Amino acid sequence: MFNIEFWQEWWNFFNKIIVPSTFTTLKIVISTILLGGLLGFVLSILLVTFCPDGLNPKKNIYKILDFIVNTIRSFPILILIVAISPLTRKIVGTTVGERAVIFPLAIAATSFIARALEGTFKSVDPQLIEAARSFGASNLQIIFRVIVRESRAGIISVLTMATITYISGSTIAGAVGGGGIGAIALNYGYQSFNDSVLYTSILVLFIMVQLAQEIGNYLYKKNI
């Protein structure tokens, strides 16, 4: 079974299909985390600022933002991709391919990261905030010089968790034409009854997750 011809065929497939698909997955995940991380950070700051015990409590605004985050988080990734496909088509011009997958994944990541960062920011010692306020610090200064600075390790932990989550999310996107390793595992592996392709794809995803976790652990330890 595992003769020279098998390994030659496997190597050709690996170079021509697996490697490009791996880079596609990396592109999707990195773009998702960059966009979702930026928007999620901004949204988390608004949530922390306007929450009932926040720096500038505004009950109605907080309820709206909280509802939006909870609504998006209630959708499984695959359902979200399908549900907002008309909006995706209007914004990126298509519902198939990398761009069409990055948009809904970034929306999902925004709510995921915003909620996780909100919890991280709220865990900052209130005495530090009160001390900064007693010295005349503005809300903006408190946010960036106290809350965000004290939460650096937590932010890294959240982004690491989000990266691993959306590596999985990118494979689900492969089921709706998003490309990447998920599409290879599904189309060339599972549906074609090709176990070598299926388990090679799984191995690549495993390595990606392990690398993301190791990098996250290293950065976390540097910032605690």
Look at residue 14 and tell me if it is in a domain: no
Name which of 68, 53, 58 is nearest 121 in CA terms.
53
Give the whole-angstrom CA distance, residue 185 versus residue 206. Answer: 13
Q: Does pLDDT of 37 surpass 90?
A: yes
Look at residue 13 and tell me if it is in a domain: no
DSSP 174: G
Average pLDDT, the chain: 88
Count structural domains, the chain.
1
Domain coverage including residue 68 = 23-222
Look at residue 7 and tell me if it is in a domain: no
pTM for this prediction: 0.90
| Per-residue pLDDT reduced to its tens digit, 82-141 | 888 888 888 888 777 788 888 899 999 999 999 999 999 999 998 999 999 888 889 899
pLDDT of residue 35: 95
3-class DSSP state for residue 152? helix
Burial of 220 (0-12, 13-18, 19+ CB in 10 A): middle
| Per-residue pLDDT reduced to its tens digit, 140-191 | 999 999 999 999 999 999 999 999 999 988 887 766 677 788 888 877 777 7
Look at residue 17 and tell me if it is in a domain: no
Look at residue 11 and tell me if it is in a domain: no
Look at residue 1 and tell me if it is in a domain: no
Look at residue 5 and tell me if it is in a domain: no
pLDDT of residue 149: 92
pLDDT-derived band of residue 16, with 50, 70 and 90 as boundaries?
A: confident
Domain with 136 in it: what CATH number? 1.10.3720.10
pLDDT of residue 216: 93
pLDDT of residue 42: 96
pLDDT of residue 175: 66
Look at residue 52 and tell me if it is in a domain: yes
Q: Does pLDDT of 208 surpass 80?
A: yes
Burial of 219 (0-12, 13-18, 19+ CB in 10 A): middle
pLDDT of residue 3: 65
Q: Does pLDDT of 20 surpass 80?
A: yes
pLDDT of residue 224: 65
